[in-house]
Chain A
C-alpha cells in the first residue's frame, strides 16, 4: 500500500486519525470513547479530492482593498439601530469629533477586530483557500487574520472569546456564508475611527461574501449585538481586486511604530522607545 493511496483516501485518513487518537489517549479509549468521536477531534489530512474541490471554488485571488468612500457614505446613510442610550453616546462622539476632540477608537495596537475590520478598514487583505478553511490575511496591525473553518464543524460549546471570534463557514453556490460568535465584548462596533462602541458581549455576525462583478467582492453583513443594537443591522461592504505586484501585502507590526532604531551597549541593533518629535 503506497503512501499516495493512503493520502488519497479520506476514509483511511480518518481511520488513521482515529487510531492515533486511541494511541495518544489510551485512558480515554479505556473509558469507552468511540473511534468516531476520536476522529472528530483531529484535523484529517487533506486528500486529492479536497484540493480538487478547492480548484472549483470562485477565484478570490489577488489583493482586495476597501471602498472607503462607501464606508464614509454609510456613516450617515446606514446608521446602525443603536439602543437609545448608545445613540446618545454616538451623537456625543460625532459632536466631539466635529469639535476637534475626537475619541480615537483605535489609538492602540489591538486588532480592529470583528466586525470593525470588515466595516472600516483602510488597508488591503487577501483570501486564502485551503482544505477545510478560508483565511483572511490583512496588514498593519500584525494580528489581522481571520480563520473561517469550512470543514463542517460547528462552534465550540464554550469558545474562548477573541478579537475576531470563532468563525465557521459553508459555500452556497459561489457565496461563502460565515457565522461568527465568541467575539470579545471589548471589540468595537465602529462606523468610523471616531464613532463606535464596544459590543459589550453576545454579538453574532452572519456574512455572505461573494463576487458582485469580475473584480468586486461584497460582504453582506448581518450584525446582532443585543447590548448595543435594538435589532440586527445589515450592511454591505465593498472591496476591489488588484493584481499589480505593488499591491502585495507587506508585514505590519503595529508596535514597531512605538520604537526607533537604536544600539545597545554591545553594539547590537535594537529598538528603543520613540522619544517623540521634541527630541
Chain B
C-alpha cells in the first residue's frame, strides 16, 4: 500500500529538540536531523510522561503484512504544553500522518517533527521557547 510507505524527505532541520525513547533516555543526538521520514498509521499509545513523551504508531509496511510499531519520541510535557498540546491531544486509534527524524541506527523510531490528525486536519508541532522572543506583557 504505497500510501502507507514511509517517504524519505531530506530537508533542513529547523527545530532542535530533545527527543528520547522513554525507556532509553536518549537525546536528540540519536536522531538524524538532516532527514524527515513520513509515517501514516494509527496511534497505538500516547504516553504523556517525563522526561520525554512517547507516541507508538501502527504503520502498515509497504510490502504488506502485519503493522509495524514505530516509536516516536518528543520533548517533555512542559514544553509540549507551551506548544499547545494536552495529555489528550492523541488517543489510541487516531489516524495520523507523522513526520519524524529517524533514529540513526535505522530501527523503527525517531524524533517528532509534527503530527497531523487525519480526521480533523489538526497539526501538532513542537515549538521551543528559544524560538520566541521574550514574552512579557
Interface residues of A (CB under 8 A from B): 62, 65-69, 72, 97, 100-102, 104-109, 122-124, 139-142, 192-194, 214-216, 240-244, 246-247, 249-254, 256-260, 274, 276-278
Contacts and interface: CB of A to CB of B under 8 A. Distances in A.
A240 to B, nearest CB: 5
Interface of B: 16-18, 20, 22-30, 32, 47, 49-52, 54, 56, 69-71, 75-79, 81-82, 104-105, 108-109, 128-130, 132-137
B67 to A, nearest CB: 12
A194 B135 contact: no
Nearest to B69: A277
Contacts, number: 139
A259 B54 CA distance: 11
A247 B82 contact: yes
Given A102-B30, A249-B78, A254-B25, A109 B133 contact: no
A73 to B, nearest CB: 11
B17 A250 contact: no
A243 B135 contact: yes
Contacts of A124: 78-79, 129
Contact of A140 (B16, B47, B50): B50
Nearest to A241: B134
A194 B109 contact: no
B81 A102 contact: no
Contacts of B50: 139-142, 251-254, 256-257
B70 to A, nearest CB: 7
Nearest to A238: B130
Given A254-B51, A278-B69, A240 B134 contact: yes
A192 B134 contact: no
B49 to A, nearest CB: 5
A28 B127 CA distance: 58
Contacts of B52: 257
Nearest to A65: B129
Contacts of A243: 135-137
Contacts of B20: 107, 257
Nearest to B84: A246
A250 B77 contact: yes
Given A123-B76, A140-B51, A100 B81 contact: no
Given A140-B51, A257-B54, A102 B29 contact: yes
A140 B22 contact: no
B75 A122 contact: yes
A278 B30 CA distance: 19
A276 B24 CA distance: 9
A104 B31 CA distance: 11
A244 B76 CA distance: 18
Contacts of A278: 69
A257 B70 contact: no
Lowest 8 A-B CB distances belong to which pairs? A215-B134, A100-B104, A193-B27, A257-B22, A65-B129, A194-B29, A102-B29, A252-B50
B16 A72 contact: yes
A247 B129 contact: yes
Q: Which of A72, A101, A140, A194 has the largest number of chain B CB atoms within 10 A?
A: A140
Given A122-B17, A240-B135, 11 more contacts: A97-B29, A102-B30, A107-B25, A109-B25, A215-B134, A240-B130, A247-B129, A254-B50, A257-B20, A257-B51, A277-B56
A220 B75 CA distance: 27
A240 B132 contact: yes
